[in-house]
Structure 1
Amino acid sequence: SMRDDARARPRLEKHETHRRSLRTYLASVVRHVACGIWLTCMSLCVGAYSALHKRWPERFELRELARRRRVPWVYEYGLRREVLRTRVNAVRASSEKAQKEHLFVCIHGLAGTPDDLCAMEQRLVRDPRAAVYRVTCNAPFKSFDGVEAGATRIVDELKRVVVKFPGLKRLTVYGNSLGGIYARYAVALMYAEDGNVGTMLGLKPCTFLTTATPHLGVGPYGYFAVVPALARATWSKNLGGSIMELTLSDGHRRKSGQPLLVDMADPEVTEPLNFIGALGAFERRCAFANATNDFLVSYETASISPEYLDPALEHKWRTLESSRVVEEYEHDPDAEDAPLKQPSRDSSKIAFQRRMARGLKTLRWKHVNVAFPGFAPLAHNKICALQRTETMEKLFKEGEWCVDL
């Protein structure tokens, strides 16, 4: 009867809601366990490699010397993939002879290549006055030897670029993932070389942009939180200086006793480099973050928001029907804004992160947080539309709309 159906309907709806909640919970558990297992296996492989390196150091040293003698990344425009070279050349052709006034520097991340940021270059070279340069000096494995070493190489490379284009007047720096940390260190070096007077290599700083950059390091957030502490310690100590710095495990190696990223975010640190002063020299700063599905650089660290993200909000973003911008706002250091989130539990675990966020937010930032929904945590490479290989292009091409923003 109709009355019986009306009585049964709420029970059925409640039952269906419970089923959906259970499926969502189980899917989340599977995702976290899978990523945790992958990261743990990587840690064990790193530990095994380190043990072999200590057992037979002479063999590894000979291989390393042979690798370093090779000429790095000698491809046209830094592009190894022929399809990408064809695309870039087609866009460049219309503006190749124009006077270049604005240098756009694109810096890839850990174990990355110049190919990774080709989508951004295709967007930027539409302006005939733009000189777009993707750095090649850290590709692909030199990015493991520490932020300072990589940033120093970048500055040396950019000096040659500036000589090539004598009409340059303005500078924009874009860093993806670890490339954003490289960029922060490199601009501090250039700022210091120009005498801290507001220019960098004689150019006027315009825009500083990062995508999926771990400004607050990695470790307490996202999928890294489910990796056993011993495994995290193994790969942070054996994968090179860059990993130690990203995991804030390098304080014992520094004169200040503080991790590098902490010093880089401290407005009171002005010697030997004024990191915050260099960032402040730019007319604008913008940080793009993945709101969900980034298993390498979580929302909190990329968006410079140290409090843990509300799981219900993360689930809402992850289950959207399509990728989109979910948050866009400007942080004004002079305004007394109410906190966006409640203080997190386990506050001691994010003390460094809170301190870094306070330092970075003494400057004005524009924040754009994007969501690539779905089950697979592939957002880290979608946000830059990474197209290094044909397979990667199929997986990450979806992010081209984000690059066009």
Structure 2
Amino acid sequence: MFLLTSKPLFLPLNFELSSLGFRSRLPRLLPVPGTSQMELLRKLGIKCCVSQSKNKKKNQKLEVIDSDSNAVSGEDVFDAVSAGAKVPPDHLVIMVNGIIGSSADWRYAAKQFVKRLPNKVIVHCSDCNSATLTFDGVDRMGERLAEEVVMIVKRWPEVSKISFIAHSLGGLVARYAIGRLYENVPIIHSSNLKENYANNLQQSLEELFEARIAGLQPVNFITVATPHLGSRGHRQLPFLCGLPFLERKAPQTAHWIVGRSGKHLFLTDNDNEGRPLLLQMVNDTENIKFMSALGSFKRRVAYANANYDQVVGWRTSSIRRQHELPESNLLVKDEKYPHIVYVEREISDAIQNGISSVDVSQNLEEEMIRGLTQVPWERVDVSFHKSTLRYTAHTTIQVKNYWLNSDGADVVLHMIDNFLL
């Protein structure tokens, strides 16, 4: 059964539900002959979409359509007109929420992506890890996300590319999930792959294969205020104010509040007497290719709050050492993106220092930095210093709720303008 609400997500077109005894509106979907819009909604299991009309009115009310309980969790956001075109969008964007979040956290950003790239992307806001399910730990959440992505890819067989955008803890969950979804598939240039290889004996084995995530070409991997280095250490959890006593106690008590996720964030987990999960995730393991998956994306970006984020520190969200953080005199103001204060392009330890391995582990944080920076990252530093919303920086950077976090709209715009298609 479909539930119609008045949450702001769609630009609706007329549709009658006379059998239910009332008149309402639903988005116009794919123009398939002999198939009603309701049948198509059921077939796709769609939870929501954006339908744009040439004659749309300003301030027109937006609507959300929720599907039945058998549908895949989460929300699909796409332009119904372009989805029904001869060449539909081929790029699937997976948006992942943070701790105690839900698919609704990314609604504003999802709508902006579809609005500005209407014939290019289909956005899925994941909901398999919402509310208290985010206490289950990065690994269990990552497994659920991987399963959800596989189901979404089956739902949209036209897509050939995939990108991830994840907020806070969701960034770690996405890193785990892509490790599960990673595979190498043969590159077939002719009907006989062996013949191709025989013609060039110097060709490496890697050149005969290409990386895929859930069977799709990986393009963008974007994290927003994600604690890549965990929350352990000086000012990695800013609301502790850097007080040594509180920072020593936090790892011992975090699991009481946020379950296994707390153990993973503070590196106190030792399942099966192994190393902490976040340390395992900076290298490939026998079963999960964490870094191969991360390295397969054409672009990796870490958006980080330079100040006022009380939940995730600047170092851990930007994957930097303390001395690598930009000095205040280097921060600039961009007229188009007033809260983007610093952009560092494609930097990695492997490029800067010629590091080819991560055997040296002076401490846990250093080992994670060296592991993660085996592949290049873009760092985008954000500051809401002059904003009245600065004390909600952790959610404002994502625009979790437009009415409460509208100052982060330029950050979302920056993501879209720099998004590789």
Q: TM-score scaled by structure 1?
A: 0.68
Residue type matched to 2:409 in 1? Answer: E
Aligned to 1:135: 126
Aligned to 2:96: 107
Aligned partners of 1:237, 1:315: CA distance in 2, in Å?
A: 41
Within 5 Å, give how 1:55-204 maps onto structure 2.
Answer: 76-77=47-48, 85=64, 92-98=79-85, 99-126=88-115, 127=117, 128-192=119-183, 198-204=211-217
Aligned partners of 2:372, 2:225: CA distance in 1, in Å?
A: 16
Contact 1:299 1:309 in 2 (8 A): no
SS of equivalent residue, structure 2 residue 157: coil
Residue type matched to 1:230 in 2? Answer: K
Post-superposition Cα deviations, 1:119-139, rounded to whole Å, max 9, x if no partner, equal 221122132231110111111
Contact 2:146 2:181 in 1 (8 A): yes
Aligned partners of 1:110, 1:205: CA distance in 2, in Å?
A: 25
Aligned mate of 2:398, from 374, 384, 388: 384
Structure 2 CA distance for partners of 1:377 and 1:319, relative to 1, 3 Å: farther
Contact 1:144 1:243 in 2 (8 A): yes
Structure 1 residue 354: deviation in Å?
A: 1.2
Structure 1 residue 111: deviation in Å?
A: 0.5
Structure 2 CA distance for partners of 1:315 and 1:242, relative to 1, 3 Å: farther
Aligned mate of 2:266, from 229, 241, 247: 247
SS of equivalent residue, structure 1 residue 198: strand
Aligned partners of 2:291, 2:176: CA distance in 1, in Å?
A: 10
Post-superposition Cα deviations, 1:19-39, rounded to whole Å, max 9, x if no partner, equal xxxxxxxxxxxxxxxxxxxxx
Residue type matched to 2:168 in 1? Answer: S
Contact 1:319 1:373 in 2 (8 A): no
Q: Which has the higher strand share?
A: 2
Structure 1 residue 377: deviation in Å?
A: 2.6
SS of equivalent residue, structure 2 residue 181: helix
Aligned to 2:351: 335
SS of equivalent residue, structure 2 residue 374: coil
Point out the more displaced range, 119-128 or 356-365.
119-128
Contact 2:229 2:368 in 1 (8 A): yes
Contact 1:317 1:371 in 2 (8 A): no
Aligned mate of 2:220, from 199, 203, 207: 207
Unaligned ranges ≥5, structure 2: 1-44, 51-60, 66-74, 187-208, 355-360, 415-421
Post-superposition Cα deviations, 1:272-318, rounded to whole Å, max 9, x if no partner, equal 211111101111111110111100011100000132687x9569979
Aligned to 1:398: 407
Within 5 Å, give how 1:205-244 maps onto structure 2.
Answer: 205-220=218-233, 221=235, 222-224=238-240, 225-226=242-243, 227=246, 229-244=248-263
Q: Which has the higher helix share?
A: 1
Aligned partners of 1:91, 1:200: CA distance in 2, in Å?
A: 21
Aligned partners of 1:395, 1:297: CA distance in 2, in Å?
A: 19
How large is the Cα RMSD of the aligned pairs?
3.5
1:290 aligns with 2:277: no
Structure 2 CA distance for partners of 1:254 and 1:326, relative to 1, 3 Å: farther
Structure 1 residue 232: deviation in Å?
A: 4.7
Q: TM-score scaled by structure 2?
A: 0.65
Aligned to 1:265: 282
Structure 1 residue 157: deviation in Å?
A: 1.3
Structure 2 CA distance for partners of 1:97 and 1:301, relative to 1, 3 Å: same
Aligned partners of 2:105, 2:153: CA distance in 1, in Å?
A: 23
Aligned partners of 1:305, 1:89: CA distance in 2, in Å?
A: 34
Structure 1 residue 194: deviation in Å?
A: 6.8
Point out the more displaced range, 269-278 or 223-232.
223-232
Unaligned ranges ≥5, structure 1: 1-73, 339-347, 388-392
Aligned mate of 2:364, from 343, 347, 352: 352
Aligned partners of 2:123, 2:164: CA distance in 1, in Å?
A: 10
Contact 1:245 1:261 in 2 (8 A): yes
Aligned partners of 2:96, 2:255: CA distance in 1, in Å?
A: 22
Structure 1 residue 158: deviation in Å?
A: 1.4
Structure 2 CA distance for partners of 1:248 and 1:323, relative to 1, 3 Å: farther
Contact 1:78 1:136 in 2 (8 A): no
Point out the more displaced range, 393-402 or 216-225.
216-225
